[in-house]
Amino acid sequence: MEAARAALPDFFKANAAVLGLFLAALALGTGVQHAVLDHLLLTAAAFLLVEGCIVLVLAYRHRDQSTRRHFDELEGDALTVEALTCRFAAADDFPGTDRVYLEWFTPQLSVDDGEYCKLMDRGEFVRVVEARHSAGSQQSKVIAGYYSVWPLSKDTFEGMADGRIPERDFKSSMILPPSDPNAFVLYVPEICASKRAWDIARSPLVADLARYIGHILVQNPHIAHVAAWPYTKQGRHYVERAKMRRLGASWLRKFYWADRDNVLTLPQTRRPFKAKWTITY
């Protein structure tokens, strides 16, 4: 309801603009007036089509954004985030990362749950931002966001980029240790902040990802490229700022990549990486 009320001013403005254009068209001459009067049903249908487009556009622009501003894990209570900790994930973090994943993606895109847990247990491919929060007298921790980085061989990445290897068919064994000489591309398949923790989790995740990428590249000079699949407009903004170029696409995903040297020129990737750090509020 709040989103609908917020959209009303824009709805009236859009309709006023349409009405103004319609009146201006009528003022052009009798030819336009006769065309309207002779085709009343067609004119009415055109108006209905325009109204439908306005409603759809406004529904998208004013979809409920409250989930981006509040982190309401405990229903009914005002929540206070006391600290954020960024660390490597383990398999027991999977329920939290899966919850965040499903806020953005469909299950059909995801790697098998068991394979992803194996990947998390390897301790170097998935990092989480964990929020410690309180609501009333209760205190708990929850995964506010996460990202993963996958060192891939050239053949594996090319197979995924051209659609021959769907990501959902990936096995943990296909993600190589960064030190493996066959690791050719450092691929970032996802960076997800919970919509309920968007404001507090997004920036720490992006900063940590940049530092971790820099750390891996410096330690492993055989990794030649960094690649990513930006799902959101914000994600595309980040890859463009990182000077990543469009590589190609499967029918569903648009991949971007950059040479390691270009990535390492970015100030964000040259900052020291810490395996675990905490921000307190």
How many CB atoms neighbour CB 201 within 10 A? 27
Q: Mind listing the pLDDT tens digit for each residue in 189-205?
A: 889 888 888 788 888 99
Angle of CA points 227, 86, 75, to nearest 5°: 110
- 173 contacts: CB under 8 Å, gap ≥ 6: none
Q: What is the DSSP letter of 176?
A: P
* Cα–Cα distance for residue pair 279/82, rounded to 1 Å: 9
Q: According to the 3-state scheme, what is the secondary structure of 262-279? A: HHHCCHHHHCCCCCCEEE
Across the beta sheet with 225-228, the strand order is 245-249, 254-259, 225-228, 185-193, 138-152, 126-135, 80-88, 277-280
* Cα–Cα distance for residue pair 36/43, rounded to 1 Å: 6
Q: Which residue has the higher pLDDT, 104 or 59?
A: 104
Q: Which residue has the higher pLDDT, 139 or 154?
A: 154
Rounded mean pLDDT, 104-118: 84
- Domains of the chain, each with CATH number or no CATH: 2-61 (no CATH), 81-280 (3.40.630.30)
- 35 contacts: CB under 8 Å, gap ≥ 6: none
pTM for this predicted structure: 0.70
117: its two tokens: 């847990």
How many CB atoms neighbour CB 166 within 10 A? 15
Cα 91 from chain centre: 22
* Residue that has been written with the tokens 């409250």 in this structure: 66
Q: Mind listing the pLDDT tens digit for each residue in 44-99?
A: 666 677 676 766 665 655 443 333 333 444 343 445 778 899 999 999 999 999 99
Tell me whether residue 267 is exposed, middle or buried, using C-beta atoms within 10 angstroms of its C-beta: 0 to 12, 13 to 18, 19 or more. exposed
Rounded mean pLDDT, 233-244: 74
Q: Which residue has the higher pLDDT, 216 or 45?
A: 216
pLDDT given for residue 126 in this prediction: 96
